[in-house]
Structure 1
Amino acid sequence: MDISEFIEKEPVLKDVANKKETVWINKSKKSGNEVWKNFPFSENDIKDAEKRLERFAPLLMEYFDDTKETNGIIESPLRKISNMENLLKEKTKFEGNLFLKMDSHLAVAGSIKARGGIYEVLSYAEKLAIDAGMLSINDNYKKLASKEFRNFFSKHTIQVGSTGNLGLSIGISSAALGFKVIVHMSNDAKQWKKDLLRSKGVEVVEYDGDFSKAVELGRKKSNENPSSYFIDDENSKTLFLGYAVAANRIKKQMEEQSIRVDKNNPVFFYIPCGVGGSPGGVSFGLKKIFGDNCHIFFVEPTHAPSMLIGMDTGLNGDISVQDFGIDGKTEADGLAVGRPSGFVGKLMEPIISGIFTIDDYKLFEYMRYLDKSEGIRIEPSACASFEGPAKLFEYGATKEYLKSSNIFDIRKNIQHISWATGGNLVPEGIMEEYLKTYLK
């Protein structure tokens, strides 16, 4: 593939090809009702997902003690991080108020994948049980923890391809319900994640190559088994809707904390992006809830800017970072994706504001900043979310975006929310190693 034409047409791709930190502004973003013209999902789809999660709450409390405090609802705190905010103000041109959405501390799986991954496992379990005449949606779903249901689920296999966190969420939840689980992992997945899965009775199959290879071969193996169900991170509508449920919940949290969102108090979200499923689903929900007062940026490693390349060229899943001569290798294992989801990239065209790229060494710098200032520890890939607020007021392209959106003059009123996508399950020894990692 000749990429020179793309680079000539869109100069930002020259920086991308050179693995230089940059920002891409989405020219296809729409406003008002135009966002939802021909969009395949509605608010009713989100409500349906919310109701399903409520039905499963009694079962989740039965299996996972860390869900009891929230009555079986898997949700994370939203925290004002004033010390980190002050640190960014000292070191960058940051203005506004800084918050951390702590999906790093979600119950069961300790990452954003606890939203979509667990939701799809539960959706599949519900369908199997209802189709078998064993369950009605009016039942108390606690009954699914019985020996009868565990034996029933054990006859079925769930498979997934993952760089780590999606595999953890699906492996842990599927095994708890009694399913046989196979997680197909690329060789850039962290060893501790493989070890944790195996300790839960999950079969882990490892592959040379990147995430896309693990997904491709996992899908192929699953298709060979009629009693196997493949959870497809690249194309799953169910995963997407599980993530979208986050929006109504964060709206409630913001109201409880008196965080205003309106034309004069816009909210900016910054979400690390790998293949795109989790940030895409969350973004759909956020845009539905907050509309034009909401501005969403993804953040990708300079060595794996797959969603940026896919969306900017318009080729989405039909182009990879390798086509640009980029290796796809990054310390942000959850973001080590060479080819984005074409399904999600297309859906994000009218929704997101843009995408930042970040050098790996900064992931560890932000980790140390957060640990030092707030005593909060999240994994390196989650720390990509701080690049947005740190650089929003530094790039010419983002300053122009703020001006054209009539925000530049009220920039001190911006509510910035960095989405911490994972980290709570990282073993303490490895977290200590991360904090001592210095790259250049």
Structure 2
Amino acid sequence: MATRTPQEWITDYPLLERLVALEETLWLKPDLPRAEEGLAHVGIGPDQIQDAADRLKRFAPYLQQVFPETAPSAGVIESPLRHVPAMKEAIEDLTGQQIKGQLWAKLDSHLPISGSIKARGGIYEVLQHAEALALDHGLITLDSDYRLLDSAEARELFGQHRVAVGSTGNLGLSIGIMSAKLGFQAAVHMSADARQWKKDLLRSHGVEVVEYEQDYSVAVAAGRRAAEDDERVYFVDDENSVSLFLGYAVAGARLAGQLQAMDVRITEKEPLHVYLPCGVGGGPGGVAFGIKAIFGDAARCYLAEPTHSPAMFIGVHTGAHDQLAVQDFGIDNVTAADGLAVGRPSGFVGERMQYLIDGYYTVSDENMFRGVALFDRSEDVQCEPSSATSFFGPGAIGRSGTHLAWITGGAMVPEDEMASYIARGEELL
């Protein structure tokens, strides 16, 4: 705990007292530098985001061929952007807080292949690894038709290699499904809070699922250790991966195109406010980086966490980043938002993104379920509880502009499980 007692941390950072009491808490970061300065601190340039976008473009014909559900988008893994005025009204009625401007939803819950934000970074990193192997072995050049990778020869090559990851669920789904499709052996190390249906779905794709009684950090550490001794094992490191981060960052330019197509004007005076559910931080951190790289100071990004798992909030607020875990303060890290059940944040994301994230807030499990039910009732869109954290930022923060709730998962949840989420929310309303 960085040699200090919990009480010493709380004395120096009184806001921690609210987090320890599991109260919904908001912190808007003071004295944030201009976006240009914050972007420079990250140490990743726009050319690297463009390189990732180009790689995804090269793979689009392959993805369209092996995943027919990507045919409508010609192999591009992208989600709809939707204006949700009925949800805006429903959330305002629930919270008594006015949302100053339009409310939109980015439906990563309906991304093709694996139905969550993790389809962005997870699939990208597996594709990058596959491309490197295929180039090294002369199966393709950068100018090839990547549909060549849908061949017995490619599958034989990839089958000699293994991809591993530690996950609470959604990252494991995206990496497991993509790895198995290419022909890799795949292992997903899953924490105690991972949903059973996610484990079952992975196994149905031939992925090895290794289960742990402990939380996310233990699963990641075990996966990392298993990969260290074997050069044929590629470990996707959710806590430290630049590749994952870049896969998520591609979303920024694509979002700009969608907003432009819908004639939504974003300026520094009337900025874009983006609300991102946060677990270990890679997905929301990467997406926020991509958005800030495009919009600069005309965008504001906020990270939402469960009251029982405010890992990134604590890490950035204290400046201790991954040196502190929520458990150090007696917070249990037990939440219905399985994808956000992370006790220790990514130091990589927290440290690099601390000058670009505008605020942090927590949401109770009860409000998440209410949000799930209201989104279903008002817009007929189904999402996971973790996604619903994004709806509780706009009113609490109270700034004017265009508000965008990033809906991180939901479409792949089994019907009976989704029905139970909605029923729970309806009971609470």
Asked whether the two chains share a fold, i.e. TM above 0.5, the reply is: yes
Deviates more, 1:108-117 or 1:17-26: 17-26
Shift of 1:84: 0.7
Which residue is equivalent to 1:298?
Answer: 303
Deviates more, 1:299-308 or 1:221-230: 221-230
Shift of 1:87: 1.6
Distance, in Å, in 1 between the alignment partners of 2:149 and 2:337 is 36
Is it true that 1:93 corresponds to 2:97 in the alignment?
yes
8 A contact 1:28–1:350 mirrored in 2:
no
Q: Secondary structure at the match of 1:212?
A: helix
8 A contact 1:222–1:229 mirrored in 2:
yes
Matches within 5 A, 1:416-431: 416-431=403-418
Which residue is equivalent to 1:29?
Answer: 32
Deviation string for 1:49-102 (max 9, x for gaps)? 000000000110111011110000000000000111122233322221100000
Identify which of 208, 217, 221 aligns with 2:213: 208
8 A contact 1:12–1:23 mirrored in 2:
no
Distance, in Å, in 2 between the alignment partners of 1:88 and 1:387 is 8
Which residue is equivalent to 1:408?
Answer: none
Shift of 1:159: 0.2
- Identity level (%): 48
TM-score by length of 2: 0.96
Identify which of 218, 229, 251 aligns with 2:256: 251
Deviation string for 1:381-439 (max 9, x for gaps)? 1111111023223xxxxxxxx5xxxxxxxx2xx10000000011101111111111258
Change (3 A) 1:130 1:97: same
Deviation string for 1:124-159 (max 9, x for gaps)? 000011111222100000000011001110000000
Write the letter of the residue equivalent to 1:93.
Q
Which residue is equivalent to 1:54?
Answer: 57
Write the letter of the residue equivalent to 2:386.
S
8 A contact 1:117–1:169 mirrored in 2:
yes
8 A contact 1:28–1:349 mirrored in 2:
no
8 A contact 2:251–2:287 mirrored in 1:
yes
Deviates more, 1:308-317 or 1:98-107: 308-317
Q: Secondary structure at the match of 1:37?
A: helix
Is it true that 1:392 corresponds to 2:397 in the alignment?
yes
TM-score by length of 1: 0.94
Distance, in Å, in 1 between the alignment partners of 2:61 and 2:160 is 23
Which residue is equivalent to 1:433?
Answer: 420
Write the letter of the residue equivalent to 1:343.
F
Is it true that 1:75 corresponds to 2:78 in the alignment?
yes
Distance, in Å, in 1 between the alignment partners of 2:258 and 2:229 is 45
Matches within 5 A, 1:12-411: 12-27=15-30, 29-91=32-94, 92-94=96-98, 95-393=100-398, 402=399, 411=400
Shift of 1:11: 1.7
Distance, in Å, in 1 between the alignment partners of 2:20 and 2:93 is 31
Shift of 1:315: 1.1
Q: Secondary structure at the match of 1:426?
A: coil
Distance, in Å, in 1 between the alignment partners of 2:407 and 2:334 is 21
Distance, in Å, in 2 between the alignment partners of 1:28 and 1:312 is 13
8 A contact 1:150–1:178 mirrored in 2:
yes
Shift of 1:266: 1.1
Gapped regions of structure 1 (runs ≥ 5): 394-401, 403-410
Shift of 1:28: 5.6
Shift of 1:6: 2.1
8 A contact 2:130–2:158 mirrored in 1:
yes
Q: Secondary structure at the match of 1:115?
A: helix
Q: Secondary structure at the match of 1:436?
A: helix
Distance, in Å, in 2 between the alignment partners of 1:86 and 1:339 is 35
Distance, in Å, in 1 between the alignment partners of 2:77 and 2:239 is 23
Which stretches of structure 1, 4 residues or longer, exceed 4 Å deviation after superposition? none
Write the letter of the residue equivalent to 2:198.
K
Gapped regions of structure 2 (runs ≥ 5): none
Shift of 1:350: 0.9
Write the letter of the residue equivalent to 1:73.
V
Distance, in Å, in 2 between the alignment partners of 1:283 and 1:329 is 26
Shift of 1:32: 4.3
Distance, in Å, in 2 between the alignment partners of 1:362 and 1:391 is 13
Distance, in Å, in 2 between the alignment partners of 1:266 and 1:38 is 22
